[in-house]
Structure 1
């Protein structure tokens, strides 16, 4: 590939990744608006139900033999449990934590991946990556400001989301060694929807027509964002695309101001900047085959 063609494909990949950041931020903004009126469990169940229906329809349309066959279904069940922990901690956190701060704290996931990778893959982190972990946790302390008057234990929820998302990424990498992306997406959707269906009757709601439409958009938007991610990485590497993922924090901040009246203070903005630097330091040494990070599934 000549330099001119490579530059053109990189631009396409960068625009796609910017679209991913906007899609995820929009997804989270819609989620926050819905959980202010509907039970968190109900919103999560509807989101995964739509996800599962769309993925199942797409697989059936391909009519491939053995399309639903998995070599390690137990691993997908574990992925679904971790993903539910990721989603629910984020949604419950959004009920009390501003959108921008929640989004920024979730972006600590690459630091958790650095910590957990040696346990699952034997990948040793270098000094730069350990520096990124330290910078990231300093950023977290600045954002949550545990000694300040505005501190709340709800701040720990998006931090837990970052941990669960890191575990989910690593489990997804393991699952990808034996199953296709469509199979991985199908089973995590099926298991997540099934698990939530066991408890959603205790949190049932009767959404309005506009809320029903938003729930449909929510499920479709999350799936579309992951489709755009896969497309983006066909045009450019993670080293090129990773910085653009942090546009999600910018978009989340704008949504927070416009729709929820949440204006982040200067200390929070400084902490969010440190978390961004932390993530970029992780990606600076990450190989193309390594796990990629995005805010939420």
Structure 2
């Protein structure tokens, strides 16, 4: 037992450094998924882009399940829970890719980062976690920051500007379910089943939408360029997923969580390099407010909670 009274074994400095490095690389590379998604979504419907990401997740988890010999963890009851997780995740990803068709990558990701705020509120309601007035105030401030970004975007693209909020809400629900399931299941079977069910759900949606003219789910045969973009989506998602798994194995989630906000910085850089987009002053103020409120919530969680409500160690998904 260490000086704080915790029974958690003390981490070696090398492990902690490795975990931080893996997480930093993951969040820096994650916006590349969205860059490829935005490029692919010019000619490919969002549901098809989402399906490509799930297919790569499933294909990556398949050999790991075989190597680890974890096929025995499969059960009908657990599959039902994972189907729900996958459905929520599918909705979140389709919403985000739909947003990327008309919004700048950095703006969409910045709005999405109200997710820890939503998770804090939902956890207090459904998981009965104690949340003080300070964190509720930080949540309100964070939402105000999101509105600073949404308001000009809403004038430009309409209700699509609200879809990153839908994505954030879905991810918050997904993480809550993941937290409950992760107490009895390992990460790889969870990733395998999520990828499998997500792939099935997307294929069903694309089958229903084929030929209907609905731009979100009307499937198409990608041309060579679009296929490369879809390949980029899947490969980058797989790589960042690997990095995230190694990060959470090496360091506590509460230590890694603040690094997630570097994703906004890298998204801004990649968005500027690829599309020539750069946030204006008002949007930068909104981004700063969201980051500040999120970091304050994380600090309060680390100080007063044994496990932070923003712990997403069971998930390798982030838009």
Q: TM-score, normalised by structure 1?
A: 0.90
1:97 corresponds to 2:103: yes
In structure 2, the partner of 1:289 is 307
Distance 1:207 1:117, change over 3 A: same
1:264 corresponds to 2:279: yes
Structure 2: distance between partners of 1:147 and 1:38: 23
8 A contact 1:80–1:188 mirrored in 2: yes
Structure 2: distance between partners of 1:8 and 1:197: 43
Structure 2: distance between partners of 1:175 and 1:135: 31
Q: How far off is 1:207 after superposition?
A: 2.0
- Of 223, 240, 251, the residue aligned with 1:225 is 240
Structure 1: distance between partners of 2:69 and 2:155: 58
In structure 1, the partner of 2:129 is 123
For the residue of structure 2 that corresponds to 1:263, the secondary structure is coil
1:34 corresponds to 2:40: yes
Structure 2: distance between partners of 1:93 and 1:193: 21
Structure 1: distance between partners of 2:56 and 2:317: 20
Aligned counterparts, 1:129-168, within 5 A: 129-145=135-151, 149-150=155-156, 152-168=158-174
Q: How far off is 1:118 after superposition?
A: 2.1
Structure 2: distance between partners of 1:31 and 1:92: 9
Structure 1: distance between partners of 2:122 and 2:50: 27
8 A contact 1:129–1:285 mirrored in 2: yes
Aligned counterparts, 1:63-78, within 5 A: 63-64=69-70, 66-69=72-75, 71-78=77-84
Range 226-235 or range 38-47, more displaced: 226-235
- Of 113, 116, 121, the residue aligned with 1:110 is 116
Listed one character per residue, the Cα deviations across residues 73-115 of structure 1 (whole Å, up to 9, x for unaligned) are: 2211111111011101111111111100100111110100111
Structure 2: distance between partners of 1:150 and 1:212: 30
- Of 220, 231, 240, the residue aligned with 1:216 is 231
Unaligned runs of 5+ in 1: none
Q: How far off is 1:261 after superposition?
A: 1.8
Structure 2: distance between partners of 1:269 and 1:86: 24
8 A contact 2:103–2:157 mirrored in 1: no
1:236 corresponds to 2:223: no
In structure 1, the partner of 2:8 is none
Structure 2: distance between partners of 1:188 and 1:120: 22
Structure 1: distance between partners of 2:87 and 2:71: 28
Q: How far off is 1:146 after superposition?
A: 6.0
In structure 2, the partner of 1:25 is 31
Q: How far off is 1:117 after superposition?
A: 0.5
Structure 2: distance between partners of 1:281 and 1:170: 20
Q: How far off is 1:210 after superposition?
A: 4.1
Q: TM-score, normalised by structure 2?
A: 0.84
**How many residues matched?**
295
Unaligned runs of 5+ in 2: 3-10, 211-217
